[in-house]
Structure 1
Amino acid sequence: MSFFHSCPAAFSFLFATLSFAQNQQQMPRDYRGVQIIVPGIFVTPVPNAPFSATVDILSHENLPDGSVNISTTIAHVARSSSGRIYNERRELVPANFKGEPELLSAHIYDPSSRLNIFYNPFQRIARESIYDGPPAAPPNTVPTRTPPNNPYFKQENIGTQPLDGLILTGIRKTHIIPAGMSGTGKEIAIVDEYWYSPDLSIYMIIKHNDPRTGEQLVAVSNVERHEPAASVFAIPTNYKIVDENPPALPATQQTPEAAPTQR
């Protein structure tokens, strides 16, 4: 069952991810407001926890004229037993849109080979590169800590809740904007909630509420905890593969530091 059907009252949002620290739960960076491009969640490339799922995204954006722009989208994510991950981004569409939103981009990463692939469905190009280290998380999703001893920030544990056979642990972060700085003449509380699955090493529900800009939600649903089909991690056959690794230096110019990375 979709999270929107089981929890219809919840629609605030923030995108989140985990760092690549092994199976560590960490907090994403504080949300900066309702945005047009929504990266969704980032799936950590850890082994022995295969799954596939749908990411539901719902946005209520407060507009300057007092109206509210409601938009939604989905994304499909997956991880194999080896830790290979698949993630995608789809177009935000009106709430009354029927069908599956258009795919904008997809990302595949294999931690064993460090092969990183981004493919573009409009150009039908897949860009490949070898990372020297784990790929960086998308902007505004790198975990940070709540500032200590700051009266305008508060972080609290909010217990546990079940979802799709998993037990999630929740954290709420509140950021107070004083009346003189909020632009509204009133004190504003920006509230973010993060619901984490230790079993899957991802954030399953992330909510954001800022009275000035709106409410948004990212929620993982339809979790299937078995090995995804190999085709999920394959580049479509009609795509051109572009190798974006830097050219190798001639052997006479190489130093131990400059030697090319081998696949």
Structure 2
Amino acid sequence: MRSLRSVSIPLALGALGLSVSVCASGQAQQSAVSNVPRDYAGVQVRIPGVFVTPVPGAPFAAKVDIFSTQLLANGETEVRTTVNRIARDSSGRIHNERRRLVPPGHVGDPVLSETHLYDPATRLNVWMNPFTHVAREMVSRAPVAIPQASAATGGVKMGSGQGTSGVTQEDLGTKSLNGLELKGSRKSRTVTKELSGTGKPVVVVDEYWYSPELSIYVIVRHEDPRTGEQRVVVSEVDRREPNPDLFAVPSNFKIADETPVE
């Protein structure tokens, strides 16, 4: 196995793929929100699963179960599931899989579509395609920071009532699951009848259960009466240091450097 290459670039401020957000209050406020994952994207063909925040000092490996109930145009319901594996080592490097959705009753793990690796120390992303054995590499050039996420669970203050964007946020308190303390929140967004496509108002609900210990959402539920429901649940959490091979590109993969040239 080959380790991720070393690139002399400063440590990233937050998680992959998020816009830069410099707060007026400085580093204290940035660190308060840096461990909160991004909002859930909603029902779609390519389900993102769990966003693993690349923070150091909290290694783990886990299974992610994804359940999708999608409403089809003909009025029927399509139920599909999949299983991903995620991991993070003590330095904050992450391993995240994406597998195909399969019908209920499928035997064994679904086919692996892609594996994503990220090293916060070098800001190096790697997307590995198991079919072509090509590993696409790209260095994130600018430091990134977590925006104000909807769930006030990792130091973000959360209010109640109607927000300026038509979003109602509710604190669901805490609960324990498999030895992890989870903090819950629910975000409800009303889509007006003019924009919903149904001729009547529609309420879209996202529910988050966040683990401060792991800095990830352990449970996410998205419900939209127009498209269906999806649930993402993390289980089988192992707090030991993961196998280093999970964060390396196999030797039989071809490297394609896609970092833009300045």
Kindly indicate whether residue 200 of structure 2 is the aligned counterpart of residue 200 of structure 1: no
AA paired with 1:128? E
Partners of 1:93 and 1:78 lie apart in 2 by 23
3-state DSSP class of the match of 1:94? coil
3-state DSSP class of the match of 1:193? strand
1:122 deviates by 1.2
CA contact (8 A) 1:27 1:143 kept: no
Kindly indicate whether residue 200 of structure 2 is the aligned counterpart of residue 191 of structure 1: no
Matches within 5 A, 1:128-167: 128-134=137-143, 144=149, 149-150=163-164, 152-167=166-181
Indicate the residue corresponding to 2:227 in structure 1.
213
2:102 to 84, 93, 100: 93
Indicate the larger mover: 114-123 or 81-90. 114-123
1:123 to 132, 141, 157: 132
3-state DSSP class of the match of 2:245? helix
Aligned residues: 227
1:128 deviates by 2.3
Indicate the larger mover: 52-61 or 119-128. 119-128
3-state DSSP class of the match of 1:93? coil
CA 1:134–1:73: 2 relative to 1, 3 Å: farther
AA paired with 1:232? L
3-state DSSP class of the match of 2:249? coil
Matches within 5 A, 1:167-182: 167-182=181-196
Identity across aligned pairs (percent)?
A: 48
Consecutive unaligned residues in structure 2, runs of 5 or more = 1-15, 21-29, 151-158
AA paired with 2:173? G
AA paired with 1:114? R
CA 1:23–1:165: 2 relative to 1, 3 Å: farther
- CA RMSD in angstroms comes to 2.8
3-state DSSP class of the match of 2:246? helix
Matches within 5 A, 1:1-263: 22=31, 24=33, 26=36, 28-29=38-39, 31=41, 33-134=42-143, 144=149, 149-150=163-164, 152-245=166-259
Which one has a bigger Cα radius of gyration? 1
3-state DSSP class of the match of 1:37? coil
Partners of 2:260 and 2:222 lie apart in 1 by 40
Consecutive unaligned residues in structure 1, runs of 5 or more = 1-16, 248-257, 259-263
Partners of 1:108 and 1:67 lie apart in 2 by 37
Q: TM-score, normalised by structure 2?
A: 0.76
Residues 119-159 of structure 1, C-alpha deviations (whole Å, 9 max, x = no match) = 1111101122333245799xxxx755599644842101011
Indicate the larger mover: 196-205 or 237-246. 237-246
Indicate the residue corresponding to 1:9 in structure 2.
none
CA contact (8 A) 1:192 1:209 kept: yes
AA paired with 2:172? I
CA contact (8 A) 1:18 1:143 kept: no
CA 1:54–1:136: 2 relative to 1, 3 Å: farther
CA contact (8 A) 1:18 1:28 kept: no
AA paired with 2:208? Y
3-state DSSP class of the match of 2:125? strand
AA paired with 1:120? N
Residues 163-212 of structure 1, C-alpha deviations (whole Å, 9 max, x = no match) = 12110001101112344543334432211101111001111111011112
CA 1:28–1:109: 2 relative to 1, 3 Å: closer
